Amino acid sequence: MSGFLGVLIFSGSLPATRAAVLDFDPLFLTVARAAIAGVLALALLLLVREPRPSKADLSSLAIIALGVVAGFPLLSALALKHITSAHSLVFIGLLPLATALFGTLRGGERHRPAFWLFSAAGSTAVAGFALLQGFSLSPLGDGLMLGAVAVCGLGYAEGATLARRLGGWQVISWALVLSLPVMIPLALLLRPAAFTGITGPAWIGLGYVSLFSMLIGFIFWYRGLARGGTAAVGQLQLLQPFLGLVLAATLLRETVTPLMLATTLVVILCVAGARRFST
Q: Which sequence spans correspond to the domains of the chain?
A: 2-276
Q: What is the per-residue pLDDT for 190?
A: 93
The span from the CA of 225 to the CA of 2, in Å, is: 8
pLDDT at 137: 54
- Give the residue-averaged pLDDT of 248-254: 67
Better-scored residue on pLDDT, 272 or 166: 166
Give residue 169's pLDDT band: very low, low, confident or very high (50, 70, 90): confident
What was the pLDDT predicted at 24? 93
Task: Give the tens place of pLDDT for each residue, 117-135.
Answer: 877 887 787 777 766 765 5
For the chain, how many helices (H) and strands (E)? 15, 0
| pLDDT given for residue 83 in this prediction | 78
Q: What is the pLDDT of residue 277?
A: 66
Decide: 230 and 156 in contact? Cβ < 8 Å: yes
pLDDT number for residue 251: 67
- Span 203-232, mean pLDDT? 80
